[in-house]
Structure 1
Amino acid sequence: MTSMQKGSSILGASVSRRRLLVGAGTAIAAASLFSPAVAKGGEVKIISNLGGAEQRAVLARVAAAYEAKTGVKVVINNMDHEAHKTAIRSYLAVGAPDICFWFSGNRMKTFVVRDMFDDISDLVAREGLADKLGVTLSAVTVDGKQYGLPMAGILWGLFYRKDVFAEKGWAPPKTYAEMLALGQSARSAGMAPMAMGTKELWPTGGFFDHLNLRINGLDKHMALMEGKVAYTDPMLKPVFDTWEELIKADFFSPNGSSFGWEQAGAMLAQKKAALMDLGGFVQSAFPKEERDQIAYAPFPELVSGMARYEDFSVNSIHIPKKAANKEGARDFLAFFYAPENLGDFIEAEGGIPPRNDCPPSKDALVNTAVEELKKVKGTAQYYDRDTDPDMAQEGMKGFQEFTIKPERREQILARLEKTRARVFK
C-alpha cells in the first residue's frame, strides 16, 4: 500500500533532456558519462519477461551499446510473460541469470524472504537513486533494504475510443447508474459494453480490485490482501452483488474466459466494445495510427463519498542471489538505469517512469496518468501483487469461475476462504 505522496513523487516535474540515438546499436547521450566499475570482458546474462517487441528492441539496443563500451557480452533470453511466472521459481534456485525482470510489492517480497534476490542497497547508494526515486523506492524495499529497481508504473482504469464516444454522444461513466446506462446504450449500438478476456485470469483480479476499492476503500482492501479478512466476510457481499448485476446485464464480452486480454483489447480497437478495464498497455492492441484515439477515465464511483483509490502497479528488475556475475549485473543496471536509457525503455511500454529525471513522455496517455494520479488519495499494486501468490492464483481462478457461473458464489468464496486460512495461518 502506498500513499498519494508516492504518486506525486513519481510524477514530479521531469527534467527536460536531449535524447540522442545514433543508429540501432548506439547508447543514449547520458550513457557516454558512464564509467564501468568492473574490468572489461566477461558476460552478463538476463532473463526477460517482456512481451512487447518495442521494449525488447530497446533492451537489445542498450545491451549492444553497453557491450561496445565495456567489452562485456550481454546475453538476453526472452521468455513468454505467463510462462516466466512459473519458471522464475525454478531458475532462481538452479541456473539463475545475473539479472531478471519481475514485479515489486508482495510478489518481490516472496522471493526476498526466501533469500533469492540480492540486496542491492549498495547500488542504490552508489548511483544516488534515493533522491531520484523518492518513495517509489518503497516498492522494492523490505526492512529498509532494496532488492530491485522500480521500473514503469501502470495506472489502471477504463479505456475507450474518443471517436466512438464522440460519434455516439457518450460520456465516460462517473457513477454506477451511468455505467449501467452506458452498457444499455452500447448493447443497443451492437457493441459489448466492456471487453474482458479472462483466459490469463489476472484481468479478473483488476476488476475485483476496482469494485472492492470503490466499495470498501483501501484499508479494508489491503486487510483482505494481507489475509486479515475472510473471503466470507459480509463486506464482500456488495462487491459480488455489483459484479453479478453487471454479469446478468450482459455488461461483459461473451465467452470472455476463452480469450486473453490482447483479443479483448482488439475488440476495443475494432469498435466492438465501448470500454475496457486495463492499464495503459492496452495501446499495444491498437494500430499505431489510431492510438491517439485512446482515452482514459477513472472507474466510476460506487459508494457516494468514498475517496478515490486506484491500482498503480510497479514492475521491477532484480539480481538473483545465486547470480554468477553480481558485480557485472550491478554495472549493467547502472548503465541501463541512466535516465535516457530507462526513459526510452519505458516510453516503449507506455508506462509512467519511476525516476523524476527521465525525459518527458511523448505519450498522451502517460501525461493523462500523471494528472490523474494527482487526484488519487492512495494506491494499491494489483490483486496478484498485493496478496500471497498461492492466494492470488486461487482467487483469480475463483473470480473467473464467478464470471461464468455467478450462481456458484457461495461455493467459490468458501473455497477461497479455505485457501486464505491455509496460506495465512
Structure 2
Amino acid sequence: MTMHEDALLRASSQGGWDRRTLLKTFGAGAVAMAGIPLLTACTGGSAPASSGANTATFGSGSSDEVPKAAYKAVTDAFEKKSGIKITTNVVAHNDFQNKINTYLQGSPDDAFTWFAGYRMQYYAGKGLLAPIDDVWEKVGGNFSDALKKASTGADGKMYLIPNYNYPWGFFYRKSLWTEKGYTVPTTFDELKTLATKMKGDGLIPIEFADKDGWPAMGTFDYLNMRLNGYQFHMDLTAHKESWDQKKVSDVFDTWKALLPFQNPNSLGMTWQDSAKSLADKKSGMYLLGSFLTQQYTDKAIADDIDFFPFPEIAVEGRDSIEAPIDGLLLSKKGGQNQAAKDFLAYVGTPEGQDVYASVDSSNIATAKGADTSKFTPLNKKLADAISGAKNISQFFDRDALPAMANNVMIPALQTFIKDGTVDVKNLEAQAKSLYAAQ
C-alpha cells in the first residue's frame, strides 16, 4: 500500500468513464486508454531506449524520498558490481499506477516497479510483460513457495522478482498510549471501547485518509476477512461470490461503527497527511501499511512507533494478514535485454535486498538470507506478523480486477465514508458486467 498506497487507473474514478468505455478498455483485445498521456510523459520526455548489452532502463513509481533513495542505492551498487549502466525514470507514485496500461503499451522501460498477484497476472495475460523463468532459475531458491506463487502468472510462467512486502495493521505512538493508559485491543468490541476513550480524550481515535481512493480498501479487506474469512474475501475479489448478499452488507454495517471515530476530513487527506497527524499525537492509531514509517525521519518519532494486528471479529481470529508484495518486472521489450534480467537477478539476492533495506527499513525483505540483525523491535514484530499468518492477502486493488477496484470500488467506498450508504446491488451489477468481459 507501496505502496499502497497503493491504485491502478485511479484517475478514471475521479474523471469518470461510462461502463461501455470500461468494458471496451478492459475487455478481450483491449487497446490503450484514449486520452491518457503516456506515463513517460510525466518526466518531460520519453523513456530512454536500451542502447547496448551493458545498459538497461528502469521505471520506478517509488517517488517518495526514502524508497527513491533506496532504489538509487540498489542501482548504484548493481552498476558497481556488474559494470552495467541503469538509467532510472522516476515517476510520481499515483501517476505511475494510474497510467500503467498506456505505459506498457507505449515505450516502457526495460524493468519497472510493480506488484504481485492479480495486478501482475492481468498485464501478463495481456502479453505486456516478459516472463523471467530464466532469472528465477538463478535466484528462485531465495524465495518461499508463497512468494513464488504470488510471482507466477496464470500461464505458469514467472514474472516478478519480489523485493519486499509490508503488513497492514494499526500503528500508534507508544509514548502517547503510555501517557493515556491505553492497551492494545484484541477484539472488535475492545477496539470500539478504546476509540470511545480516545475521542473523550480529545483525539481523533482512528486516523484515516482517502483522498487517493485506495487506502480505504485496507479497512474493507480486514473487515471482510475478519467477518467472513480469507477464502470468502478472495472469492469475492475474483467475483466467485456475489456482492449482493448479506455477508457483504454485514461488512459495511460493521464498518459503520467505526465511521464516527475515523478522521472526518479523510476525503481531503493523503496518507502522508495522516502520517503527520499520528506523529503530532493528534490521533490515537492509524490503519495502514508499514510503509507509513518512511515518513518518520526523526529517530525519536520512528523509535516511538508500535504496531498491532487488526482485532478479531467473528472467524479465523487474526490468522489472516494483509501484506502486499512489491518487486520488479520486465516489460515485453525488456525481456530481450540481458542487462535488465541481470538487474532483476541482483534484486532477487540477499545482497541486493540488504542494500535496499539499508536505506528503507520500513519494509520486510523477501529473500532468504537477507540480514535481519539490524531489525528494530518494530521490524521484528512486523516480520513475525507476516511469518505467523496462516493467510496473506495482497490488497483489494491487487487481488481484484483493476476496473472493479478502481472504477467501482473507489467511488463506492468514498461515498460510504461520506454518508454511510452503499448500494451492494449496484456493486454486483457492475462486477457482473466487468468480470464477464474478461
State TM-score, norm by structure 1. Answer: 0.85
Superimposed CA distance per residue, residues 19-72 of structure 1 (whole angstroms, 9 cap, x where no aligned partner): xxxxxxxxxxxxxxxxxxxx9864211100113323322322332343345443
Aligned positions of 1:64-103 closer than 5 A: 64-103=76-115
C-alpha distance in structure 2 between counterparts of 1:271 and 1:259, whole Å: 17
Shift of 1:374: 4.0
2:228 to 210, 213, 216: 216
Q: Is the 8 A contact 2:171 2:287 kept in 1?
A: yes
Name 1:333's counterpart in structure 2: 344
What residue in structure 2 maps to residue 155 of structure 1?
167
* CA–CA separation in structure 2 for the residues paired with 1:68 and 1:376: 38
Q: CA RMSD in A?
A: 1.9
1:298 aligns with 2:312: no
CA distance in 1, matches of 2:386, 2:342: 33
Provide the secondary structure at the position in 2 that maps to 1:212: helix
Structure 2 runs not aligned, ≥5 long: 1-50
Mapped partners of 1:346, 1:71: distance in 2: 22
Alignment partner, residue 319 of structure 2: 308
Aligned residue in 1 for 2:295: 285
- 1:265 and 2:271 aligned: no
Aligned letter for 1:409?
V
- Spell out, residue by residue over 1:247-302, the C-alpha distance to the aligned partner (whole angstroms, 9 max, x if none): 2xx21011210011111111111101111101111112333331111111111111
Change in 2 beyond 3 A, CA 1:303/1:290: same
Q: Secondary structure at the match of 1:202?
A: coil
- The CA distance in 2 between the partners of 1:153 and 1:388, in whole Å, is 21
Q: Is 2:134 aligned against 1:109? A: no
1:126-148 Cα shifts (integer Å, max 9, x gaps): x2423544431111112432112
Q: Does the CA contact (< 8 Å) of 2:163 and 2:347 recur in 1?
A: no
From 163, 188, 202, the equivalent of 2:200 is: 188
- Output the CA distance in 2 between the equivalents of 1:324 and 1:369: 34
Q: CA deviation at 1:322?
A: 2.3
1:405 aligns with 2:415: no
C-alpha distance 310-61 of structure 1, shift in aligned 2 (>3 A): closer
Aligned to 1:368: 381
Q: How far off its partner does 1:96 sit?
A: 1.7
The TM-score with structure 2 as length reference comes to 0.83
Is the contact between residue 184 and residue 193 of structure 1 (CA under 8 Å) also seen in structure 2? yes
CA distance in 2, matches of 1:305, 1:69: 47
Do the aligned partners of residues 311 and 66 (structure 1) sit closer, same or farther apart at CA in structure 2, a change above 3 Å counting?
A: closer
Q: How many angstroms apart in 1 are the aligned matches of 2:78 and 2:312?
A: 48
Question: Deviation at 1:307?
Answer: 5.7
Structure 1 counterpart of 2:353, one-letter code:
L
Matching residue of 1:200: 212
Classify 1:373/1:58 alpha carbon distance in 2 versus 1 (closer, same or farther; 3 Å): closer
Aligned to 1:355: 367
Decide whether the 8 Å contact of 1:319 with 1:326 is kept in 2.
no
Give the match for residue 18 of structure 2: none
**Residue number in structure 2 paired with 1:138:** 149
> Are the structure 2 counterparts of residues 96 and 47 from structure 1 closer, same or farther at C-alpha, using a change threshold of 3 Å?
same
Deviation of 1:174 after TM superposition, in Å, equals 1.2
Q: Which sits farther off after the overlay, 327-336 or 264-273? A: 327-336
8 Å contact 2:187–2:313 — kept in the other structure? Answer: yes
Q: Which of 386, 406, 409 is 1:395 aligned to?
A: 409
How far apart, in 2, do the equivalents of 1:305 and 1:314 lie?
22
Change (3 A) 1:63 1:307: closer
| Count of residues in Structure 1 that have an aligned counterpart in Structure 2 | 381
CA contact (8 A) 2:205 2:284 kept: yes
Shift of 1:205: 0.4
Cα-to-partner distance string for 1:154-186 (whole Å, 9 max, x where unaligned)? 111111111111111111211122111111111
Cα distance in 1, alignment partners of residues 116 and 338 from structure 2: 22
Q: Is the 8 A contact 1:151 1:315 kept in 2?
A: yes
Aligned partners of 2:232, 2:174: CA distance in 1, in Å? 35
Preserved CA contact (<8 Å) 1:41 1:70: no
Q: Classify the secondary structure of the residue corresponding to 1:245.
A: coil
User: What 5-or-longer segments of structure 1 have no aligned partner?
Assistant: 1-38
**Could you tell me how far apart the structure 1 residues matched to 2:115 and 2:102 are?**
16
Q: Which amino acid aligns with 2:302?
A: R
- For the Cα contact (< 8 Å) 2:225–2:320, is it kept in 1? yes
